[in-house]
Structure 1
Amino acid sequence: MSEQPETIAQLSFEAALKRLEEIVRTLEGGEASLDASIELYEEGERLKQQCEARLQAAQARIEKIQFGRDGRPAGIAPFDGG
């Protein structure tokens, strides 16, 4: 039922998010036993961490264009999420 951590690490962001959504639906629907719910919750936590790590990695790669006083592009700088 639950994914192994190394398998989760190999999932794309989209696949991990889709699986996380499936887990949430299952838990919200009350379709799983207590033991299965605990396993699903733990898998969901690992998936959440994987998604957050992928988002942080993507954010670190994003660059923003800096404009000079004349309004023309003057270079790039690291993305500042704040």
Structure 2
Amino acid sequence: MDEGNGSAEHAANIEQMSFEQALTALESIVQQLERGDVPLDESISLYERGEQLRGACQKRLDAAQARIEKIVTGADGKPSGTTPLDGAS
């Protein structure tokens, strides 16, 4: 059994997921682990996949935050203001 290839395959699948798909998969893993009815070896595998999903979600959130910061920065690189995310004044 070659776990290295399987792990690389899982990582590639995660990279192809949308943020919402990765988050839903992560929530499913958390629910399974919280129930506590999963065998130990499977729990470890689920935890590893969950950590990969968490990392992918965090990476996408960081990228989105960087894009937002660019939008609210003026052409001279200085902040031109901030806009609340909910659109309120």
Give the TM-score band, short-chain normalised: 0.7 to 0.9
Q: Which has the higher strand share?
A: 1
In 2, Cα distance between the equivalents of 1:53 and 1:78? 26
Are residues 33 and 79 of structure 1, via their aligned partners in 2, closer, same or farther at CA, if it must alter by over 3 Å? farther
Q: Tell me the TM-score normalised to structure 1 length.
A: 0.74
Does 1:9 pair with 2:9?
Answer: no
- Indicate the RMSD between aligned Cα atoms, in angstroms: 2.7
Between the aligned residues of both structures, percent identity stands at: 50
Mind listing any 5+ residue stretches in structure 2 that lack a counterpart? 1-6, 83-89
In 1, Cα distance between the equivalents of 2:81 and 2:41? 43
What letter matches 2:22 in structure 1? A
State the 4+ residue runs in structure 1 displaced beyond 6 angstroms: none
Mind listing any 5+ residue stretches in structure 1 that lack a counterpart? 67-75
Contact 1:59 1:79 in 2 (8 A): no
Does 1:55 pair with 2:52?
Answer: no
Q: Tell me the TM-score normalised to structure 2 length.
A: 0.68
Paired residue total:
70
